[in-house]
Every structure is written in structure tokens, then in C-alpha cells.
Chain A
Amino acid sequence: GQQVMQIPQYQHVQEGEDFTTYCNSSTTLSNIQWYKQRPGGHPVFLIQLVKSGEVKKQKRLTFQFGEAKKNSSLHITATQTTDVGTYFCAAYMTTDSWGKLQFGAGTQVVVTP
């Protein structure tokens, strides 16, 4: 069945550095969503990508959807302490009409000042 795999599981970043987290699926996705969860908080929707090869930016965050719509990436430039948290990618299951969202396991980001 459709599964969303996310790597790395853990990322330790020095403040000011860039990093990228990746999301991969064995099947073609209709769309991909990204969420951020701050420590002790709840997941918050960041962005949705729908089109093949789509690139969207939110300040220092760049989101990309692969040409084959099987992978996505989140790149953060010049990491700040406010970027601390867990980033999840998620996709609605194309084989399911009931609207279940398949979450990746998340990338936990720790930022060292």
C-alpha cells in the first residue's frame, strides 16, 4: 500500500547552516502536505504541493515536489533556533476515498546556537 517514508529521522544543525529533509513514496502521490510540530505543541500545516515539479517558498523554507510526484523535500536556509521542531510530510491515500492522511515518521530538528 501507499507509504510515505521520511529521512532523516533526526537532524542536528548549527545555527546559520542549511539542511534538507526528504519524503519518499513508492507510489505516485496526488499531493503532498508539510506540517511542523514545535516541542510540546501540535502539528501545524505549512504548505501543500500539488503539481509535478512544483516549488514553493515561505521565507527561508523551500518546498519541492518531484517531477514524478513520488518525492518531496523541505530545505531550510540559514537555520534559526525558531526552526526547532519536528517536520512531517503527509499525503492523502489515493486508494482510499475516505480522506485518510498518511504521515511520514517526521524529521526532528535540533538547532545549536
Chain B
Amino acid sequence: NAGVTQTPKFRVLKTGQSMTLLCAQDMNHEYMYWYRQDPGMGLRLIHYSVGEGTTAKGEVPDGYNVSRLKKQNFLLGLESAAPSQTSVYFCASRSGYSNQPQHFGDGTRLSIL
């Protein structure tokens, strides 16, 4: 009963390094989302996908790229990490029916030094 799995759970990067966060869901969900959460800021949408091979920008997309090559996986890439990208990153998924709840992963805690 895995649901949404995020890898890694913790990571420390140096400024300028790149990395990829992986999100995998086993619920056959059409929609997948990447959020970042900063203290007092709530959840802000970075990018999202409405199906395999389709992605779109959210509220704060700059400095990030995404790919959805397989329906079950949604990758978030940091091209050149900056201290402002220090945050907790959450992946979520939901079914394609309208107004469905989102299921979240446990999050990735990322620190950029």
C-alpha cells in the first residue's frame, strides 16, 4: 500500500549543483503535482502534469524542470541549485475525475548551502 513515494527524503546540495527528485505513485493516477513548502508560505505549486508526456507550469516554476515519461513517475529537476530553493518538496497525485482529493508523498527536505 505504497501510495506516493518520494526519493530521496533528505538531501544537502552546494550552490550550483543539480539534482533530480523522484516521485512515484502506484494508484494509476492521471494527475501529478510538485509543491514546495516554506515556513509561513503554505503550499506553492511548482509544476504539474495531467498525463503522461504532458506538463505545465505552476505558481513558482523558475529554476525547476519536470518530466513525466511514465504515468507513474514525475521527476523534478533543479538545474543549478540556489539557496532560495532550500525547502520541503511535496509530490501529490490524484485521479482524473474532477475535484478529487490529492494524495501526498512524505516529502523531500532539501538544503542548499
Contact = CB atoms under 8 A, between A and B. Distances in A.
Interface of A: 9, 30-31, 33, 41-45, 48, 50, 88, 92, 98-101, 103-106
User: Which bracket fits the contact residues of B?
Assistant: 20 to 34
Contact of B101 (A30, A42, A48, A105): A48
Q: Which of B31, B41, B104 has the most CB of A within 10 A?
A: B104
Given A98-B50, A100-B48, A105-B42, A92 B58 contact: no
Contacts of A88: 42-43
Nearest to B35: A103
Contacts, number: 47
A100 B107 CA distance: 19
Nearest to A10: B40
B53 to A, nearest CB: 15
A103 B99 contact: no
A98 B42 CA distance: 21
10 contacts: A42-B107, A45-B101, A48-B99, A48-B101, A50-B99, A88-B43, A92-B98, A92-B99, A101-B45, A104-B42
Contacts of A100: 45, 48, 58
A43 B43 contact: yes
A66 to B, nearest CB: 17
Interface in B92-109: 92, 94, 98-99, 101-107
Interface string B34-56: 00000011110100101000001
B90 interface: yes
A103 B50 contact: no
Contacts of B104: 42-44
